[in-house]
Amino acid sequence: MSRLVMKFGGTSVANIERIRNVARHVERERKAGNNIAVVVSAMSGKTNELVGWCEQASALYDRREYDAVVASGEQVTAGLLAIVLQDMGIPARSWQGWQIPIQTSDSHGSARIAHINAAAILEAFEARAEVAVVAGFQGIHQETGRIATLGRGGSDTSAVAIAAAIGADRCDIYTDVDGVYTTDPRIVPKARRLDRVAFEEMLEMASLGAKVLQVRSVELAMVHKVKTFVRSSFDDPRDPKAGTLICDEEDIVEQQVVTGIAFSRDEAQITLRQVADHPGVAAAIFIPLAEANINVDMIIQVASENSGVTDMTFTVSAADFERAKSILHKAQPQIGFTSLTGATDVVKISAIGVGMRSHAGVAALAFKALAEKGINIRAITTSEIKFSVLIEAAYTELAVRTLHSLYGLDKA
């Protein structure tokens, strides 16, 4: 019998009726001859409620206690789905992270999965043809025996990790959209669902703002070569539609140069004027930020020749903006800038495609097209399979539509 992991997010398990619908999807796959592990999120709204209580309890809450509180949401869903499956005559039991166990690092609140012992689940498959219903988002730190959670969206990561651990043939991520699109259809009505996306592309898309999968789940899928299928949980369980398969590059026959356009509004721009242009000044700026766990993304340095000073512009996530400014002000004596300006009305637009590796000048086309629309580019970064531009937020829709058309992604 083949093995399948099925993951359902919060909106798919929002109430008992929806959980019953999830069970019908499981029933279909079981009848098709699969041994199944189902990974579930908390019922929608529950995690926010639990997080809210922790924040009310203390602004500086102990992350170990936070984890013990918020992990309960997924435990509830897992138990309820097991009951519903049994009610339909399907043998099932729930598994909490510590029961399997799913061993994690001790970085509570954003723990990484270190190891999964799949023996108990495989034994339940072999001995009782039992569906394993696994509480997502959580594991246990082996040394302390305390519950650790994987960060928001962590149930995707749980699903892929379990798929790798049990050697699943496929990992199906059921969500409230029916797959991965060339861009956000709310912005570009001509956006198309992709039949297949390469792991590398999906990783960039997720990192650059596409919200369909947690970034770490895609990393894991890529490392362990877990074929991951994104599909809709609101399809008729008897007749589900197609979704998007995330797979190896070589499994994609007809590769586009650009596969998708992603964008992220979660950006903030910081500019330091008249920084002394000498070796070590970049370290003086970026080391204090790194020590505060603030990721710096795009960096531009504009030096006036022979002036001895330079302007430094870079981006951080909007959530880190205030903290970054305060750190830089404290470090002003060491850095020596004359002024610090910032902006949060910026957006990062990215084009992704493994085809860029073999095609030169892909980004240059974009710079020209955006200029023709009067869109000013504030910063640029590129890598082997993507490029990103930072622009004023007001131009988001125009820029996304322009690039979507430019690279031939509009619907036929």
What residues make contact with a second copy under the rule CB under 8 A?
16, 19, 50, 53-54, 56-58, 60-62, 64-66, 68-69, 72, 75-76, 78-80, 82-84, 86-87, 93-94, 96, 98-99, 145-147
Which residues are within 8 A (CB) of 146 and not within 5 positions of it... i.e. 6 or more apart? 64, 67, 68, 108, 140
Least distance from C-beta 51 to a second copy, angstroms?
11
- Closer to a second copy by CB, 60 or 360: give it: 60
Contact 25, 240 (CB under 8 A): yes
Least distance from C-beta 65 to a second copy, angstroms?
4
Least distance from C-beta 136 to a second copy, angstroms?
14
- Closer to a second copy by CB, 86 or 232: give it: 86
- Closer to a second copy by CB, 76 or 187: give it: 76
Least distance from C-beta 102 to a second copy, angstroms?
14
Q: CA distances (Å), 60 to each of 50, 57, 73, 118, in order?
A: 15, 9, 21, 36
Least distance from C-beta 271 to a second copy, angstroms?
38
End-to-end CA distance of the chain: 40
Residue 97 CA to residue 28 CA, distance in Å, equals 26
- Closer to a second copy by CB, 133 or 163: give it: 133
For the chain, how big is the Rg over CA atoms in Å?
23
- Closer to a second copy by CB, 142 or 301: give it: 142
Token pair in block for residue 6: 């099925």
Which residues are within 8 A (CB) of 233 and not within 5 positions of it... i.e. 6 or more apart? 8, 9, 11, 12, 18, 21, 22, 25, 174, 175, 176
Give the number of residues written for the chain.
Answer: 412
Least distance from C-beta 323 to a second copy, angstroms?
21
Least distance from C-beta 312 to a second copy, angstroms?
39
Residue 234 CA to residue 31 CA, distance in Å, equals 20
Least distance from C-beta 82 to a second copy, angstroms?
5
Q: Which residues of 122-137 are buried (b: 16+ CB within 10 A; e: fewer)?
A: bebbeeeebbbbbbbb
Token pair in block for residue 2: 């083949």
Residue 56 CA to residue 106 CA, distance in Å, equals 24
- Closer to a second copy by CB, 58 or 107: give it: 58
Token pair in block for residue 344: 């949060």
- Closer to a second copy by CB, 99 or 317: give it: 99
Contact 373, 394 (CB under 8 A): no
Least distance from C-beta 114 to a second copy, angstroms?
19
3 state SS of 154: helix
- Closer to a second copy by CB, 66 or 321: give it: 66
- Closer to a second copy by CB, 122 or 299: give it: 122
